[in-house]
Amino acid sequence: MKYYNELIFELSRKGRTGYSLPVNRFPAAEGLPEGLCRQSAPELPEVSEPDVVRHYTNLSQMNFGVDTGFYPLGSCTMKYNPKINEEIAAMPSFAGLHPLMHAGLTKGALEVYKGLNRALAEITGMYTFTFDPCAGAHGELTGLMIMRQYHMQRGDYGRRKVIVPDSAHGTNPASAAVCGLEVVEVKSLPDGRVDVDALKELLDDTVAGMMMTNPNTLGLFENRIGEIASLVHKCGGLMYYDGANMNPLMGVVRPGDMGFDIMHLNLHKTFSTPHGGGGPGSGPVGVAKKLEDCLGEIRVSGFHGNFGVILRAYAYILMLGRQNLAKVGEYSVLAANYVKECLKDVYKLPIDGPCKHEFVFDGLLDDGAREGVPGATTLDVAKRLLDYGFHAPTIYFPLLFHQALMIEPTETESKETLDRFIEVMRKIAAEAASDPAMLHDAPHSTPVSRPDETAAARNPILRYVMS
């Protein structure tokens, strides 16, 4: 692959243009304050239209996207999103709406909210949803505010603790803290599931509720969920479900039936909105019937969330229909188990057994370490995958394992793609065993090899300075 690294300013040639404007027939404005007038022309790149098109098209290809390759990013569900949903979201009749328009002119949009509310309620077993939150974490905060409101309304002011398993997504304890609640961690057993005996020790009248995701972050189904929910309910707490990753459950199991009272979904993960680069998102929050009033009192955004994302989700659900939604669950679980079984003789699988939509390896079985040469790490494997045209899985998360590699293939990949990924992962394992030093420098074929990720995030260079 050829990469073009010239910056657009370096392509600039004096007097070259990519446009022609009509002759200006208006006189220059007079009387503008001196200080507000520009003294010299702005320094903009002077380039032709083909230069601009090639420049930005090439830039777009320097990044990795699900439209160019397999992207097995655990806990993030980077599945293929059907293009028709983009077309629907871009239709002028939807894209041109303004939230302050008269209700009589926005009946179609209201119908979308109503229809999606009904569909999500049915998929999850909740009673009703709010579409205000604009991300998963925003939904968690909203849900916890509802939880707090519920206890306050009952005059139950002493409930400040939220129980979170040690395998939880980092946003769970963070949202509870932001909501002013106290986070209490409950340990997992060696089999990766919540230690119910340890949980019992924590339950008293200071508990506001428990946050869980099921299947949990290790991709394992919490098979004692019924018991856990009834223990938390018995002590007066509520059950919060982190439904960011609804793929494995869709059409098969419902959080409402597992005993959860409040939940959020990530429409941008499960329901067909591309979400690399951090947005836009939508984290609708659903509640059981007894919490309907509390939901009505919480407002977390100016209007009604990210309508474009909501629209894509509704189109996606209607297009799949009931039967095909259930296949999302089945296929995503099948794909994850297939990849796991085909790789577990070369990668360390700390918790064996059937998984749901994702699973976690703890690095390589043979990392090639020997005298003077450190072994290949999870980071090395992740970087090497780029040389073979695959995005890395999620790495070093969850924190339960030191070399975590979290793989989520999703339901949208063909067996051929999965087989090719398996082949490459095995090849990398063999490379690690024979030549780990080569992996320390990977990737070898990308325009940027290994940036200092902390510096890149803390000190981004966003401005071109003319030399």
* Residue 261 vs 380, nearer CB to ligand PLP: 261
Task: Annotate each residue in 328-347 with x if it binds ligand PLP (CB under 6 A) or - if it does not, as one string.
Answer: --------------------
Q: Which stretch binds ligand PLP (CB under 6 A): 240-248, 358-366, 427-435, 436-444?
A: 240-248
- Report the Cα 72 to chain-centroid distance in Å: 12
Least spacing, CB of residue 11 vs ligand PLP, in Å: 36
Least spacing, CB of residue 32 vs ligand PLP, in Å: 46
CA 103 – CA 97 distance, rounded (Å):
11
Least spacing, CB of residue 365 vs ligand PLP, in Å: 27
Residues 6+ apart with CB under 8 A from 53: none
The three-point CA angle 93-96-97 to 5° equals: 90
124 counts as binding ligand PLP under rule CB under 6 A: no
Q: Binding ligand PLP by CB under 6 A: which of 117, 188, 214, 266?
A: 266
Q: How many residues bind ligand PLP (CB under 6 A)?
A: 14
Q: Which stretch binds ligand PLP (CB under 6 A): 192-200, 229-237, 242-250, 360-368?
A: 242-250
Both tokens of residue 419? 């087989």
Q: Binding ligand PLP by CB under 6 A: which of 117, 130, 142, 245?
A: 245
Least spacing, CB of residue 260 vs ligand PLP, in Å: 14
CA 363 – CA 395 distance, rounded (Å):
10
Q: Binding ligand PLP by CB under 6 A: which of 164, 186, 232, 244?
A: 244
Helices (H), 179-262: 196-202, 225-234, 255-258
CA 79 – CA 67 distance, rounded (Å):
10
423: how many CB neighbours lie within 10 A of its CB?
12
Both tokens of residue 91? 């239709």
75 counts as binding ligand PLP under rule CB under 6 A: yes
* Residue 241 vs 388, nearer CB to ligand PLP: 241
Q: Binding ligand PLP by CB under 6 A: which of 81, 117, 124, 171?
A: 171
CA 173 – CA 176 distance, rounded (Å):
5
Task: Please spell the DSSP secondary structure of 264-286, one letter per residue.
Answer: EE-HHHHSS---GGG-S----EE
Q: For residue 241, what are the β-bridge partners? A: 212, 263
175 counts as binding ligand PLP under rule CB under 6 A: no
CA 464 – CA 233 distance, rounded (Å):
57
Strands (E), 396-449: 404-407
Least spacing, CB of residue 135 vs ligand PLP, in Å: 4
Residues of span 130-169 touching ligand PLP by CB under 6 A:
135-137, 169
In the complex, the residues that contact ligand PLP under the rule CB under 6 A are 75-76, 135-137, 169, 171, 213, 242, 244-245, 266, 281, 283
